[in-house]
Each structure stands twice: as C-alpha cells, then as structure tokens.
Amino acid sequence: MSILITGGMGFIGVGLAYELVAKGQDVVLFDIVTRPERVAAIKDNVKIIQGDLKVWPEVLNAVRDNKVEDIFHLGAMLSVPSEQNPWSSFQTNIVGFMHMVEAARLFGVNRFIFPSSIASYGLDTGEVITDTTLQRPVTIYGVSKVHGELLGRFHRRRFNLDFRSLRYCGVIGPGVKTPGVAQYNTWMIENAALGKPYECFVTEETYNPITYFKDAIRGTLQLYEAPRENIKTVCYNINQFSPAPTAKELELTIKKFIPDLKVTYKPDPTVMAFHHNQTLKEIDDRRAREEWGWQPQFDNLEDMVPDFINEVRTRPEYYG
C-alpha cells in the first residue's frame, strides 16, 4: 500500500514526501512536470509518475496500479494562472478533482486530504472569517476550492470516504515562481538572502494572510494523522500570523538579519485593486486547534524570516 501526493513536485508536496518517508511510508508523486532532483535524498523510497489530472485514465492508473491507501490532493493550477486561463483551470482544478475523488471511491482509498484556500471566501467577508463564514469566491481558483470542499463532503457522507480539508493562507516559501497577490513576501525574503535589491509590487501598508510552507506541511500532516472521530468540522481554517504582517513590517524584520537590504515600492495597479477590496483582517482557526491540535511552529516574523533565509542559502533544490 502507498500514499499518493498529487502536485508532488511542488514544494509542499516534496516536503510532505520527506516527512512521510521518514515515517516509513511508501510514497508516489504524481505531477504534470517532474523534478527528481527535489527528492534525490529519498529517491529509493518514492515513485514519480508524470501525469495530468485532466486525463481520467492516468489518474485511475496511478491510484489502481500503486494500491493507494491515502491521497494528498495538492495538484492544481494556482490563482494567477487560473485567472489568465480559467478554461484550463476548470479542467485541472474542478474536473481533475472529480477524477481524483472518484478514483478514491472506486479503489477504496481510506483518507483523502485536500488543501483548500482562504481564496474560497472572496473579498466581501468582513474583518473576521470563521469556519462557517459564507464562501463567495470571486476567482475561478476560489470557485474550484469551494467545489472541492463540497464534493469532498458529499463523498464523505455518501461513500464514507474519510475526506478532510484545510484552508491555507497565501503559502510562502523558497522557490515559488508563480505570481500571486501574496508572493511579494516570498520574493522580498529570497532577494535579501541572495544579496539582491527588491522592487515590491504592493504598498508598504499592504498586508495579506500568509502561511509559511513548513507550517503548511506540518498542519497538513497533523490533520492527516488525527483520529477520524475528532474530525467534526471537516474543512478547517488555519492561521499563523495574527494580524497579518504588512510589507513594511516584513522589510524591517528582514533588516534585523540582513541590514543592507534595499527595498523599493512600485505598486502594481492590478494587484492593489485586489488588496483595496479586501476587508479580511483576522482568521478564526479555533476549530482546527480544538479538534486536532493545530498549532503553528512559526507564529512570528522573527522566527520565520531567519529560517526562510537559511532555507534559501542551504537548500538550492528548493530555490532552483
């Protein structure tokens, strides 16, 4: 029996693979692109499959042929590419989810873990969101996350699939290339670590809820390992920084460790239009904390920033 990770070549998928292999699990990584150098240290304990979520037989074969017991379904088009090509995003994120959850049903998969997103809530949320705040996404990416949550809940009720989901904030970590509204956080720290100046595409006072990739991995594993009887809410918010740090606060924290960092601000009108319409300030994640013990390891910038800098400088397989 094995554990399948879709989007397995992404930095969260790779991080999960290392953690699961350390726990003695056999891991299968399914992705549309392959980057075997990212799992070189565990290459004897993982299997890499190049496949496309849109292709139903490829999904079926991956689950059937590897006797998959549990699935981490991370594979997806991210927010900015999804907005640029919503038709492809629909096929990958919505149809692809249907392919994967049906494969899970047909071949008797036990647990199905689905990372959702706070993008599922949209913009008109009020200042605080809870696990029961009305989800009204404004992006095709957010729509796909709500679809996954609801279809997963249906399979949990109708077919007894142990479906569980958690909503990441904007995930930051080394090596992220895809543009997104929160990626100024990633790129400011990366450029600092590499001794480069950075032109930030938001204003100094802009803030966006973020999840450090190590806590995204940690929270995902915590949810996966929780006893089934503890899973009552099913789809959970997780939060790391309260309130979310501003771009200027991040800059000043980085300068505590790299004093010669040069940051200038040139706001992108398209990105700023999103931030100007956002009202969210706080994320209530008490149900994750109460039901399965969620607790971030990095809950302040002073701990996260030096760890991120060290990752960039010592793990080029993530940064490259």
Same domain, 302 and 231: no
- Which residue range(s) make up the domain with 252? 172-209+241-281+298-319
Whether 153 and 199 share a structural domain: no
Q: Are residues 26 and 74 in the same domain?
A: yes
DSSP reduced 3-state for 175:
coil
Tell me the C-alpha distance between 72 and 70, whole Å: 7
Same domain, residue pair 69 and 178: no
Instruction: Please provide the DSSP assignment of 3-30 as one string.
Output: EEEETTTSHHHHHHHHHHHHTT--EEEE
Q: Is residue 239 within 8 Å of residue 283, measured between CB atoms?
A: yes
Q: State how many domains the chain has.
A: 2
The per-residue pLDDT string of the chain (320 residues; one tens digit each, 9 = 90 and over) reads: 899 999 999 989 999 999 999 999 999 999 999 999 999 999 999 999 999 999 999 999 999 999 999 999 999 998 888 988 999 999 999 999 999 999 999 999 999 999 999 999 987 788 899 999 999 999 999 999 999 999 999 999 999 999 999 999 999 998 887 777 889 999 999 999 999 999 999 999 999 899 999 999 999 999 999 999 999 999 999 999 988 899 999 999 999 999 999 999 999 988 888 787 777 878 999 999 999 999 999 999 999 999 999 999 997 655 55
Helix segments in the chain, DSSP class H:
11-22, 56-65, 79-84, 86-89, 96-106, 140-159, 183-193, 213-225, 247-257, 269-277, 286-292, 301-314, 316-319
- Domain co-membership, 132 together with 265: no
Amino acid at 201: F
Positions annotated as catalytic residues are: 141
How far, in Å, CA of 14 to CA of 311, rounded? 14
Q: Are 102 and 153 in contact (CB under 8 A)?
A: no
Q: Does 289 reside within a domain?
A: no
pLDDT of residue 319: 53
pLDDT at 31: 97
pLDDT of residue 242: 83
